[in-house]
Structures are given as structure tokens and as C-alpha cells.
Structure 1
Amino acid sequence: MTVMRSFAALLLAALMPLAAMAQYLETTTHFAPRGMPGTDSLVVLVPEGLSDVSLPGWGAETTAQVNRALQAAEFDGSARQRVEILAPAGLPYERLITLGVGNPGELERPVAEEIGAALSVHINGTRAKVIELNASLISDAGDNSRLSAAIAHGVDLRNYRFDQLKSQPDARPAQTYHWVVSSVGDAQRQYNMLRAVAEGVFTARELTNLPGSNGYPAAFAEYALQTLAPLGVEVTILGPEEVLEAGMGSLYGVSQGSQHKAHLLIAHWRGSDDQPIALVGKGNTFDTGGYDLKTTSSILLMQGDKSGGAAVVGAVKALAGQQAAVNVVGVVPLSQNSISGEAILPGDVLRAGDGTTIEIGSTDAEGRLILADGIWYARDRYNPSVIVDIATLTGAKTTALGTDYSAIFSDYPELVDSMKLAGQMTDELVWQLPLGPYRGIIDSRIADIQNTGSPGAQAGAVFLQHFAADTPWLHIDMASQALLSSARGIHPAGGTGHGVRLLTEWVKIYAGVQ
């Protein structure tokens, strides 16, 4: 294993101790066959179609009060319905909450997660500390475990906080969630798998949220090393000199105007002996646009330009945490696109690792420049069965699809279909856009190709396809999905960790280990 640590990278560790970085949640989750003493709040999961809601041990007075309240609120157990009863008669709880789960056999995982997220928001607005969540009204054992784990996962995802840079951070949610389920072992197993995904999402959010002066290339790489190596992931970090020695002039060029030069992070999880699956994520740690300077308020969000790379790190962490039987290599080219007397200029020509010369039509089309060398490196050094790259690449994608869908590009129908399935499973939806024919879209007069063209999203995809060569390949453009200005669904405000859940599920689907 080759690991290069720079002195600069250690500044991040000094700012945020590694023990603190690894502690993403203060809440705890337990599964048991029965309740526990000291509970102050009871949450009952209620399927649709029940004529009366009642649990063993409830007296007639309790049952009557609860069902009278539910009737008044027109509660019928539909998914997402919630009714709270304070000081329920005959019960030792401050509050009782009924939570509708609809038809348990038909309730999809993303909806269950959103139910959990909404519950956590409600609980955080109360003084509840110990919450029992009773799933005994869900009679099917498989649904009982599956939905309990998914709702608990939604609670976790919403309760993440990025507060390391605050001198006096607000108190984090710190409740104990005690689940009463029909099969403790099965529910715990499913939750553990989802908790590994959550840890990957938290890592991606953390990396995305880091400001440009904290999350620069060496610091990003060091963070990834510290979080992945303990899980058995082989981490290799190439520093600027090694990037140059490998011939990756396209990656190096983007950072040459910054004091924080280019790095390349490789994270290899060998969960099987199969031919590797390669994930390549854009890690532009801050994007000024270079000499094609960003002049709008969007520059304030440009720490999010490393979110594709963060998604790859998070997905590798999730798969390693699950001990998934897959061979996956994550490659993250890392840069900081800044302006100085050494920065690349519009019209300059760079040479990529595969020898391709690239005319710089815009210094603000830098993501494809670093991904070009990342894709080439993955293909050249690991001979993968498939390459998927992910990036906040183009504003044109946002114009075309908004923020509900990522754009995907590929000439391989099986890759498109499997990615769509992963998107449906995780609610990180994707929509295929065409690769062509767009004849001459990235032609250059003075070099082999140029890094701009129209239409913009397609030009970026066609550019990247060149470096995948004959390896099966798919490109994900997740522009405008990395950051939220306010909390929504399973996400608090800030970095979303978008792509982690999508890539984690897709790798397993593609590898046939679902």
C-alpha cells in the first residue's frame, strides 16, 4: 500500500480530531422482543385497515381513548400519517404516537426512510429521551424486520449534524430508540446493513461540507485514509509529483494555479476475486472557475464540487462496512481550481495520461479534465469490468432535469437498466440522456479534443467516454444535488451525500450479490 501524507493534510486532523470526525450521531438504536423500563414515549407502527388499535396490556380505558382520538383525526393507517396523544390514559408514557405504514408488504424502503426522518424531526421538537417503537401490529415477520430497520435508518440519516467548525454547537439529537420487533436477529441484521450505508452517507456529507480551505486535496485524501483503512480498504494516495510522473497532465493542470496541488486517491475493497468494478468520482475540492471565473453567488457553494468524489469514498465505505462480496476500486482525482500566475489559461493544451491532448475551451470545465485521468488510471491500472463515474459536472444537466433526477449516459443498456433499478431502490433517481450522434461536439483545431462543446451535458459525457475507451462505462451527472439550503426528507441542511446509496446498491446489483 502506497500512502503519502503531507504536513498540510495534518492540519485538518488538528482542526477536527479523528475521533470526533468518526462520531456522526448521538442517538442510539436497539432491537428487543419487549419494552424496556424508563421509556417516556411510545410509537406504534399501524398498518392500514385495522378497526381498532391496541397492544397487549392495554386496558379498556386506554384502548377507547386511543381509538377515539384516531377516529377524530381521521387516522386510517395510511403511510406517513401520524397522530400524537399526550398523557395517554392508563399508560406510563408522556406521549403516544401512532405512525401509519400503509400496506406493509407494499411500503417501499425510501418511503419508510422518510417516515423515520419525519418522526425524528417530530421527536426532536419534544423533550422525549427514551422512545419505544412497537412494530408488533405488523404481523408478517419479514415486513416487521424490513420496515423497522428502514424507519430506523431514516431516523439516523436525518439526525446527522455537521457542527465541528462551530465554537458552541447546538446540542445534537441524543435519544435512545428502542425497537420492539418480532425477530430481533433479522431486524438487527438489516439495520446493520443500512447503518453501514448511513456511515458512508455521513462520510460523504462530511467531505462535501468541508470548506475549500479545510477540504483541499491532501486533506480530503487524509480524511478518506483515516475512515477507510480501519475497515480493511487498501488506500493509495498519489501526491503531485507522482501524478506528474504517471503522466496525468490533465489532472495536474487543473490544480497548478493553487498552492494545493493535485492528488489521486485510490480506495480498493477486495471483497471478492472477481474482476474489479471501478467507481471514479470528481474531487474538485473548490472551484473558482479559474480564469473563466464564476461571477455569481454560486461560487459560495463550490465546496460541493467534490461531492462526486465524496460519494465514491462513501460508497466504498458502505460496501466495506457491509463486508460485501464485491471487488470495487474507487478512484478520486483531487484538485483545487484556483487562479494565480501559474494557473492554466483558456486556450492552453494539456496532455492526459493516455496521451490525448486537450484544448482548454474553458477553465471552468475542469471536472472532466480531472475525471479524464481518473478514468484512464482506473482502466489502465486495474483492468475493470466496468467503469462508472459520478460528478457535479454541468449546469446543463440541471436545466434539463432539475434536481429530482441525475442524468446518466451510456451505450450499455444493461448498465442503464441496473442503474435505474438502484435509483428506484434508493430514491436517488436517474434519467438517461443521449450520447449522440453529436458529430464533432468536442473537436479541436489545435489539439486532439477540447473540453467544451454544445449541448453542454452531452459534451461532458462524450469527452469522458473517450477515456473509458472500450471498457463498459456509464457517466452520472449529479449537478445541483450535492447541497441543500434547508433540511428536506432524510437530509439535514448542507451536504446530502447524494450518490452513496445509489452506487452502493448498483455495485451489488451489477455484481449479483443482492
Structure 2
Amino acid sequence: MKKNVLAVVLATALTASYTMSSAAHAQASFSDYVQTQHSFAHEHMDNVDVLVLLAAESDDGSIALPQMWSEDTRNMIQNALAIEEFTGKNGQQVELLALPGFYAKRLWVVGTGETLQRKDAEKLGATLAAQLSDKTDNVVVHAKGYSDAQIAAMAHGMDLRNYRFDKYKSEPAARPDYTVHWHGDNGSAAAAAYATTQPLAHGVFVARDIINLPGSDGYPQAIAELAQEAVSGYDDIKATVYTPEQVKEMGMGALYGVSQGSQHKAHLLVVEYQGGNDEAPIALVGKGNTFDTGGYNLKTSGSSIVRMQTDKAGGAAVLGAVMALAGKDAKVNVAGVVPLSHNLISGSATLPGDVLVAGDGTRIEVVNTDAEGRLILADGIWYARDQLKARAIADIATLTGSKVGAVGTDYSAVFSDHSALLEAMKTAGETTGELVWQLPLGPYDGIIDSWLADVQNVGSPGAQAGARFLQHFAKDTPWIHIDMAGNAYATGANGIHPAGGNGYGVRLLAEWVENYNAANK
């Protein structure tokens, strides 16, 4: 990937380039992901393709129109809005074409509701991006009266929606390539606010790249190398990759066992960012199963197995979150632990009924080889607790179908008996729109007991069994488990997400780390 270092804010031009980052961090150019650009200089333009007028909700439906527009133009717009009963409610939109003597070919009047929270502003930006034609060259957004943070969130939402993963297309469709000119109250402040969103967007983009890689290209070693390349421009991220031999020597038999049937053996990726003092890190542990056949408990549904490259979405989220926190110079120490596996079938694969020994010495009866995610996470959590001495651990995984049955895909399920972790996670979910719903950890005593070994890797209820299994390895370290099954991928674009892997969890984890750290120093 290309490396570029530019100033955070180009105050004279008031233009935010996609290659901007803090001076301490060289990052891959945003043009590797999107071609659109944002400018925050307030200057009049002629022959605008699309002019967007943002309008807050009002009880009487009155909308303030710029006084620079002619009286005839204002009257025509007000009449059109009255006919459409436009009140500025969030999601309302009225389009007017070819207004006589007007400097824009199209005018979109867009309602923003009574208040415009961050997640709503991001979604609004994504909606605008989805509606803009590939033939668009320039867009002007009238955003007077909206805060710098709201403008930045809308621009961020446009960036997230405009990402494309097209490396496997023989003839990729043209990516959107236009400039959005934001006319707010303070161009330099809006540019600075937008610049703070770029590390987060970059983390999401890298996560999406990882999720979308097919299993034969995105195996453990390949993902480890991709991650090392992605963080190589960050001076304050240390990346360590443990080879299959080292994983085995360190006693991480649960992680090693999942991949032992594949030619692509297990790796462990650790990325550490030290932005705080000398306190112990907050650890993020993400499932990085790069392809999941189910092993000898083979997945028999074609629609299920064909998307199993997304089983590494938790690990992708962890890497992206660490990159986002480092990119914004967050004042916290955080470590990302990503166990990487490749769950295939062969004569050397783990069999149902086999016993694997985890890093902490726990002996695990593998009742179901398709419950492999918790096996690799067990050793990841052990590493975070025992080797990194983490002060808190959050693990994230596409773990159980039971979770989808319980809360669907509008929420992730979270499990913890630590109120501080839970409250910080719920707040992070509300802020980012990556919502979480707490499910109970107990009582459920005995659901992972094994007659053959210390524990077994399945039980009922399924989501709770997975959580109780992982809790065993966290021991007394404050711990929270995020089951994001069903949230990582979609066949069609929606909101801030294009089709494919969406990078779910990057924004949630990054927000959670800062929330928890601020409240529990």
C-alpha cells in the first residue's frame, strides 16, 4: 500500500484530502478505497450538479432559504415544499430539477429532524452518497446552523458508503468521483473535525478488505502479513506474529488444533498501541477464522458455507479498532489479539471427541468441530490475560447462530457480569449505531461440563454456552463478550455499508475503549 503523510488540517485551503492523517502516522492513501473528496471552503460555485439544502424539522413546516437566492426561486421552492407537505422530518426529501435561473441543475431539500445525532448524521451522509450519480462532478451542501461535528459525521458517512472492494472484478465499475463542498459556519473547524474521522474510516476500510478476501487468498499467514503491512506506517503500533511452530510451542493447543487439518496452520497476530502511561492495556480479542468448513461437523448448507470467509470479521474489527485509536492519538494503551485459523478437513484434522489442551492448561473435549471460534478465542483470551496482563478484555466474534435467533442482526449480543464494561459498551453502541443487547450469562451452571475432559466446547442454550466457555479463560479479569453473528456481511448495500463485508465492530470497539478508559483510569 502507498504511504502518505500530510498535515491534519490544510487551514489555508480548507480542503480535506483523503490522504490526510496525523503527522505521526503514515497511512495507505484513501484513494485506494474511495475517490470522492470533501472541501470545506465556503465559496460560490456555478453550474453545480447537485445542491443539497439541509433543513431541520419545524412545527409549522417553515424552511429558511438563503437570502442570496432570488425571490422567484424562493417562492417556487416554498410552493413545492408545501405541496409535498415537507416539514424537515428526518428522511424527508424533495427534489426540484432545472429551476429557472438557478445555479444548480438539481436541488435536494433534505430533512434532518429535530436533532441530528452522530449516527443519524452518518446515515444521512450515506443516503446522499447512495443517491448521487456516478456522473456527478460536484455537490454543494448548505449546512449553515449545523455543528462542525455534524458536518464531519455526514462527510464520514459518505466515505463509508463510497468504499468499493473490486479487486476481483475483471472490469470494475467506475467508482464515484466527485467533490462535496460543505458550506457551514466555520470551514476550518469543519475540516479539522472531518480529519478526526479519517483514522476511523481507514480502520473500517482495512477491516472490510480483510473480511472480503476469499478463503484461498485470505488464509492465516496472508492475513497476518496484510495486517503487518497495514500498520507498518504507524510509528506507535507494534505488530507481532507468532508462527504455527511458536503457537504450538507456547501451548496454545486449542488454536493450533483448529487448523491442524489445513495446509495453512494457525498464527497469532498481536498489535499493541501505547498511547497512555504505563498502565496495563485494554485488550481486544477477535476471532480470525479465515475460512470455516465446519471441520468434520461439515456445514451442509451451500448458502452458509459460501460466505465463511466472513468468519474472520471479529479479528478484522480488532485490527481496525487499534488502527483507529492509534490514528487519532487516543490516550490509552490497547492491545489487539487475533488468533488466525483455517478450519478444513483432512486426515490430520481434529476429530469430534478429540481433546485439545489450551494455553492455560484447560483440557477441552471437542464435541463439535464447527464450534471452532471459541477454541481459538480461548487461547487469544489466555494470551491477553496471562502474557499481556490486560486490565480488561473484550472479545468479538461471529460466534453462534443462536445469537441471530435471539436478537437478529440489528443488535450484537453482549455477555458480561461487569457493569462498567457493559455500560461503556451500551453507550458505544448508541453513539455509533452498532447496537448491543445484553443476554444473561447465568445461571446455566454445568452447560459446558464434560465427562471426558475439563470442559466441552458446546452446550445449550447455544449463545450462552459459547459465552460461558470464553468466560472460563478470562477468569477474574474484567471481561465482555460480543457475539456479532449475522452482523458482518450483507449481499446488498444499506446505510453506511456497501455490499459485502462491512467492518462492523471497528467503530463500536474504538468508542468502547475510550469510554471505558475515561471512566476507569
1:327 alignment partner AA: N
Counterparts of 1:254 and 1:496, CA distance in 2: 26
1:272 alignment partner AA: G
Is the counterpart of residue 363 in structure 1 residue 372 in structure 2? Answer: no
Residue matched to 1:510:
516
Is the counterpart of residue 272 in structure 1 residue 283 in structure 2? Answer: no
2:287 alignment partner AA: K
Residue matched to 1:250:
254
Query: Does the residue aligned with 1:219 lie in a helix, a strand or coil?
Result: helix
Q: CA deviation at 1:229?
A: 2.1
Is the counterpart of residue 206 in structure 1 residue 212 in structure 2? Answer: no
Query: Does the residue aligned with 2:309 lie in a helix, a strand or coil?
Result: helix
1:131 alignment partner AA: V
Give the one of 18, 28, 37 matched to 1:28: 37
Query: Does the residue aligned with 1:309 lie in a helix, a strand or coil?
Result: helix
Q: CA deviation at 1:400?
A: 0.8
Q: CA deviation at 1:124?
A: 2.6
Query: Does the residue aligned with 1:178 lie in a helix, a strand or coil?
Result: strand
Counterparts of 1:43 and 1:402, CA distance in 2: 35
Task: Please tell me whether the aligned partners of residues 85 and 96 of structure 1 are also in contact (alpha carbons under 8 angstroms).
Answer: yes
Give the one of 393, 400, 407 matched to 1:401: 407
Gaps of 5+ in 2: 1-26
Is the counterpart of residue 463 in structure 1 residue 469 in structure 2? Answer: yes
Aligned length: 489
Deviating 4+ runs (over 6 angstroms)? 18-22
Q: CA deviation at 1:317?
A: 1.2
Task: Please tell me whether the aligned partners of residues 41 and 132 of structure 1 are also in contact (alpha carbons under 8 angstroms).
Answer: yes
Query: Does the residue aligned with 1:32 lie in a helix, a strand or coil?
Result: coil
Counterparts of 2:316 and 2:28, CA distance in 1: 19
Residue matched to 2:286:
281
Return closer, same or farther for 1:22/1:366 CA change in 2, 3 Å cut-off: farther
Return closer, same or farther for 1:135/1:19 CA change in 2, 3 Å cut-off: closer
2:140 alignment partner AA: E
1:100 alignment partner AA: G
Is the counterpart of residue 70 in structure 1 residue 81 in structure 2? Answer: yes
Counterparts of 2:238 and 2:70, CA distance in 1: 58
Counterparts of 1:458 and 1:269, CA distance in 2: 31
Q: CA deviation at 1:36?
A: 4.3
Query: Does the residue aligned with 2:122 lie in a helix, a strand or coil?
Result: helix
Q: CA deviation at 1:22?
A: 7.0
Residue matched to 1:425:
431
Residue matched to 1:129:
137
1:91 alignment partner AA: F
Q: Deviations over 1:35-86 (max 9, x none)?
A: 3456332111112226243214211121112212222222121111111111
Percent of residue pairs identical: 56
Task: Please tell me whether the aligned partners of residues 283 and 390 of structure 2 are also in contact (alpha carbons under 8 angstroms).
Answer: yes
2:290 alignment partner AA: T
Counterparts of 2:196 and 2:499, CA distance in 1: 25
Gaps of 5+ in 1: 1-17
Counterparts of 1:299 and 1:508, CA distance in 2: 36
2:48 alignment partner AA: T
Is the counterpart of residue 222 in structure 1 residue 208 in structure 2? Answer: no
Counterparts of 2:28 and 2:184, CA distance in 1: 32
Task: Please tell me whether the aligned partners of residues 35 and 178 of structure 1 are also in contact (alpha carbons under 8 angstroms).
Answer: no
Task: Please tell me whether the aligned partners of residues 251 and 262 of structure 1 are also in contact (alpha carbons under 8 angstroms).
Answer: yes
Correspondence list, 1:130-279, <5 A: 130-136=138-144, 138=145, 143-232=146-235, 233-273=237-277, 274-279=279-284
Counterparts of 2:126 and 2:191, CA distance in 1: 19
Task: Please tell me whether the aligned partners of residues 65 and 89 of structure 1 are also in contact (alpha carbons under 8 angstroms).
Answer: no
Is the counterpart of residue 84 in structure 1 residue 100 in structure 2? Answer: no
1:335 alignment partner AA: S
Give the TM-score normalised by the residue count of structure 1. Answer: 0.92
Give the one of 311, 316, 319 matched to 1:313: 319
Task: Please tell me whether the aligned partners of residues 145 and 186 of structure 1 are also in contact (alpha carbons under 8 angstroms).
Answer: yes
Return closer, same or farther for 1:270/1:35 CA change in 2, 3 Å cut-off: farther
Query: Does the residue aligned with 1:512 lie in a helix, a strand or coil?
Result: helix
Task: Please tell me whether the aligned partners of residues 489 and 499 of structure 2 are also in contact (alpha carbons under 8 angstroms).
Answer: yes
Return closer, same or farther for 1:424/1:19 CA change in 2, 3 Å cut-off: closer
Counterparts of 1:247 and 1:430, CA distance in 2: 34
Task: Please tell me whether the aligned partners of residues 28 and 230 of structure 2 are also in contact (alpha carbons under 8 angstroms).
Answer: no
Return closer, same or farther for 1:159/1:327 CA change in 2, 3 Å cut-off: same
Task: Please tell me whether the aligned partners of residues 55 and 63 of structure 2 are also in contact (alpha carbons under 8 angstroms).
Answer: no
Counterparts of 1:381 and 1:30, CA distance in 2: 46
Measured on the aligned residues, the alpha-carbon RMSD in Å equals 1.7
